[in-house]
Chain A
């Protein structure tokens, strides 16, 4: 994907006004049944996610959460009527953003192991919106940075999720 200026979609000014601003905050509790359901869908076999005896043997006080599951811990539950017409969640909506969406990428840093039962607090900031040209045409790439904290306020992880809108 190469960035262009002339032929690319215009970046809506009303959306750029959100850059650097907090767009969402939330919290959730890590539940082993939830992350195990995710792990089985991914085909994970790591015993730290499933076997408490192995987790303890490796020095953990509880089952270990797969790191890539972290955004799911705080993901809001939505009534079906609150979803967008395409069925996707509305929390990545911005004024003027084109309607068709798909995942564009991820850049995450996990500072420590997260365990079953932990309470997680998250805040999300719109980091950037840029115009791009891809294999299938022009699109906007919007990136949100989410910071995750534990009960003591310590930073646990940072994720940067990018959304393709076209």
Chain B
């Protein structure tokens, strides 16, 4: 399992459209899948029952939980934004199944930066890929409060 915090090379407050966030690279292993299923009271067999997953569902391996992938993609953004940032919107489309052990690369690029009465509103495009194949595609919007110490 390799999923440390995303380090920000610069201040999110100085970000511009076209900037890329640091990639989040990680491999989802069975320990993380089990912990996530436990935390979400999820007993869906495709996440732990290999015989069922192969024989009944036709997948080659267990399937990583879609909400775990989208949570990891959102985490990439909120880790970068820090406590001053608030996630205000996400869209995610799961395009293909993800399996444990696959090295995932979560990428994020700034689409727009707009002024908002509460701060700066930053929209990003997101992808989660394995070996160049996009498995999840999405967007996120964070509201970044200008003055530290208070968050909307």
Q: Answer yes or no: are A and B bound together in one complex.
A: yes
Interface of B is mostly: mixed
Given contacts A102-B63, A104-B94, contact A42 B68 (CB under 8 A): yes
Which chain A residue lies CB-closest to B65?
A103
How many residues from B make CB contacts under 8 Å with A? 53
Given contacts A44-B75, A103-B66, contact A109 B36 (CB under 8 A): no
Which of the segments A7-15, A17-25, A53-61 contacts the partner chain? A53-61
Q: Which residues of B contact A83 (CB under 8 A)?
A: 43
Question: Do A38 and B36 touch across chains, with their CB atoms under 8 A apart?
Answer: yes
Which chain A residue lies CB-closest to B96?
A135
User: A40 in the interface, Cβ–Cβ < 8 Å?
Assistant: yes
Question: Do A88 and B35 touch across chains, with their CB atoms under 8 A apart?
Answer: no
Chain A min CB distance to B34 (Å): 9
Question: Do A135 and B95 touch across chains, with their CB atoms under 8 A apart?
Answer: yes
Given contacts A67-B87, A86-B44, A86-B45, contact A100 B150 (CB under 8 A): no
User: A80 in the interface, Cβ–Cβ < 8 Å?
Assistant: yes
Given contacts A72-B40, A102-B66, contact A109 B89 (CB under 8 A): yes
Q: Which residues of B contact A77 (CB under 8 A)?
A: 41
User: A43 in the interface, Cβ–Cβ < 8 Å?
Assistant: yes
Question: Do B83 and A46 touch across chains, with their CB atoms under 8 A apart?
Answer: yes
Q: Which residues of A contact B78 (CB under 8 A)?
A: 44, 46, 66
Given contacts A68-B71, A102-B63, contact A42 B36 (CB under 8 A): yes
Question: Do A48 and B39 touch across chains, with their CB atoms under 8 A apart?
Answer: no
Say which residue of A58, A72, A164 sits within 8 Å of B83 (CB atoms): A58
Say which residue of B45, B74, B75, B96 sits within 8 Å of A87 (CB atoms): B45
How many residues from A make CB contacts under 8 Å with B? 51
Q: Which residues of B contact A38 (CB under 8 A)?
A: 36, 39-40, 71
Question: Do B94 and A164 touch across chains, with their CB atoms under 8 A apart?
Answer: yes
Which chain A residue lies CB-closest to B24?
A43
Question: Do B44 and A87 touch across chains, with their CB atoms under 8 A apart?
Answer: yes
Say which residue of A41, A46, A111 sits within 8 Å of B36 (CB atoms): A41
Q: Which residues of B contact A67 (CB under 8 A)?
A: 74, 86-87
Chain B min CB distance to A42 (Å): 5
Question: Do B89 and A86 touch across chains, with their CB atoms under 8 A apart?
Answer: no
Residue of A87, A101, A136, A164 ringed by the most chain B CB atoms within 10 A: A87
Question: Do B36 and A110 touch across chains, with their CB atoms under 8 A apart?
Answer: no
Show the binding face of A for B, using Cβ within 8 Å: 1, 34, 37-38, 40-48, 54, 57-60, 66-68, 71-72, 75, 77-78, 80, 83, 86-89, 100-113, 134-136, 162, 164
Given contacts A88-B45, A103-B66, A113-B152, 14 further A-B contacts (CB under 8 A): A41-B35, A43-B32, A44-B78, A46-B79, A58-B149, A68-B87, A87-B45, A102-B46, A103-B65, A105-B91, A105-B138, A106-B90, A107-B90, A110-B87
For this complex, 11 residue pairs linking A to B, each with C-beta atoms less than 8 Å apart, are A37-B38, A41-B68, A45-B79, A48-B83, A58-B83, A68-B87, A86-B45, A87-B49, A88-B45, A110-B87, A134-B95
